[in-house]
């Protein structure tokens, strides 16, 4: 997979009630495929996991493993489920997979993020849970996403970078609240 991974348009759609069910079904498929890999945790994260807000209709699933020694087996197993592995990912501390990209589909449907950094894994869960627990905060995030999608319609990296300060603040506040 090449760097143009992030060049397709950013389209936010209304929240769909079936996203959670679809994510859980895919989590089951991943667990079955990765039965020989010790997975510490697996979670549906990202905007499709936040109730009531617009999102790119791509289910983000995050796996936590003990370390990178498990990466080769994970790559083979996840590719067998129809995912494309991003071998050129500049972040060597994690694996990233995409399902549904042409020629294998009409558009992205799933992302799988494989990490061994438990704090980074927890940050995504804290963010999701904080927004699900505070509808006003979730709406604030949705407004930011809509603004960024309009500004960076085909620039995924810029769109993602534009959310960083908001996400960092939410996670910091969530960690402080649970300390």
pLDDT by residue (tens digit) across 12-62? 999 999 999 999 999 999 999 999 999 999 999 999 999 999 999 999 999
Per the prediction, the chain carries an average pLDDT of: 92
Instruction: Tell me the per-residue pLDDT of 70-82, one tens digit each, with 9 for 90 and over.
Output: 999 999 999 999 9
For 25, 54, 81, the CA distances from 147, given in Å and listed in that order, are 32, 12, 34
Half-sphere exposure of 40 (CA within 13 A, CB side): 13
Which CATH architecture best describes the domain 3-174?
Answer: 2-Layer Sandwich (3.30)
pLDDT(99) > 70 = yes
Instruction: Tell me the per-residue pLDDT of 124-140, one tens digit each, with 9 for 90 and over.
Output: 999 999 999 999 999 99
- Residue 174, class by beta-carbon neighbours within 10 Å (0-12 exposed, 13-18 middle, 19+ buried)? buried
Mutual orientation of helices 156-178 and 118-133 as an angle, nearest 10°?
A: 80
């Amino acid at each position: 997979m090449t760097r143009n991974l992030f060049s397709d348009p950013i389209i936010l759609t209304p929240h769909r009630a079936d996203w959670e069910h679809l994510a859980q079904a895919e989590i089951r498929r991943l667990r079955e495929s990765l039965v020989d890999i010790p997975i510490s945790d697996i979670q549906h994260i990202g905007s499709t996991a936040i109730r009531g807000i617009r999102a790119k209709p791509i289910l983000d699933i995050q796996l936590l493993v003990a370390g990178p020694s498990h990466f080769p087996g994970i790559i083979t197993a996840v590719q067998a489920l129809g995912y494309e592995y991003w071998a050129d990912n500049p972040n060597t501390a994690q694996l990233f997979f995409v399902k549904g990209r042409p020629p294998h589909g009409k558009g992205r449907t799933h992302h799988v993020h494989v990490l061994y950094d438990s704090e980074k894994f927890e940050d995504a869960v804290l963010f999701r849970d904080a927004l699900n627990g505070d509808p006003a905060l979730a709406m604030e995030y949705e407004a930011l996403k809509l603004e960024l999608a309009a500004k960076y319609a085909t620039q995924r990296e810029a769109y993602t970078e534009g959310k960083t300060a908001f996400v960092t603040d939410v996670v910091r506040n969530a960690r402080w609240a649970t300390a």
